[in-house]
Every structure is written in C-alpha cells, then in structure tokens.
Amino acid sequence: MSGNILTMDGELNYIVQWFNEWSELQRQDFLPILLECLSPEPYVNGLVGGMAEASCNDKPMSLFQCRVKLFREWSSKWPQNIKEKLSEKVAEIDPGFGDKFTSELQTLMTNGNGTNSSAPESDTSPAAPVAVQDN
C-alpha cells in the first residue's frame, strides 16, 4: 500500500509549515542547511557538517533535528524548480531571512566557499533568490 508516500509538493508543504513554526534561532540554524541544499557549489560550514554527523546515542533527536534530517533526505532528490519554490516561500514568510539567504547565496556564487576559488562569477540578480543550474 502506497498511502504513506508524499509527493515532492507534499514534502515542500511540510518544510514551509515547519519553517513557519520555527523560532528565530532555529531559522538561523536552518540558513546554512538551506544554502547547502540550494547552492550550485558545495557549501562548507562547520555547523552544517556538525549537524550532519551529529550522533545522539544517549538521547533522542529534537523535533528540529528530525525535521532537518527529513529536509536533507527530501531535498536531495528535488529538482531545481522545487528548490526555487522553497526559497520563494521562506522569503515570503520571513523577508529578512530571504534577504540574508539571497545575500549569502550571491556571496557564495561570487567568491566561492574556499574550496574552489577559480569558480566563475555569476550574473545572479537580487530579485532571483536562487540561480538555476542544469545538472
């Protein structure tokens, strides 16, 4: 029986709902995770790496950690248009977060993240929250 399988739009709706519920601090923690998902280049950040490899053998994961884990699983298979929808929706919910996300993404695309300093510069406009890249 396949009644428990979510569509990509269903997954997106859950992420948007969770983002709505998150505190300012949780949204700040989510920013590098979202950048990692939506950046056309690999994103390296100590917090992201630490959260990805965190082991909570002695205590259960928090609800936020479970949601981030699901987001990582789901977003890894999303096409670019779903990722763009997510960035648009979170920017609508929290314009300050959207501005910071766009700024960080443009900085990554312009300067790279230290792992590939020879990356070409991008023509991303401030109105476009996510650059489209064909894989």
Structure tokens at 118: 């020879």
When divided into structural domains, the chain yields a total of 1
Q: Which of 38, 65, 71 is nearest to 53 (CA)?
A: 65
Report if residue 132 sits inside a domain: no
Residue 35: give the domain boundaries.
8-39+62-111
pLDDT of residue 38: 82
pLDDT of residue 47: 43
Report if residue 78 sits inside a domain: yes
**CA 34, CA 93: separation in Å to the nearest integer?**
15
pLDDT of residue 84: 92
pLDDT of residue 107: 87
Q: What is the DSSP letter of 127?
A: T
Report if residue 1 sits inside a domain: no
**CA 74, CA 85: separation in Å to the nearest integer?**
14
pLDDT of residue 92: 97
**CA 90, CA 71: separation in Å to the nearest integer?**
14
Q: Whole-prediction pTM value?
A: 0.69
Report if residue 118 sits inside a domain: no
Per-residue pLDDT of the chain (135 residues; tens, 9 = 90+): 456 788 999 999 999 999 999 999 999 999 999 999 887 655 555 444 444 444 556 688 999 999 999 999 999 999 999 999 999 999 999 999 999 999 998 888 887 654 444 444 444 444 444 444 444
Contact 12, 90 (CB under 8 A): no
Please, what is the Cα angle at 95 between 74 and 78, to 5 degrees? 15
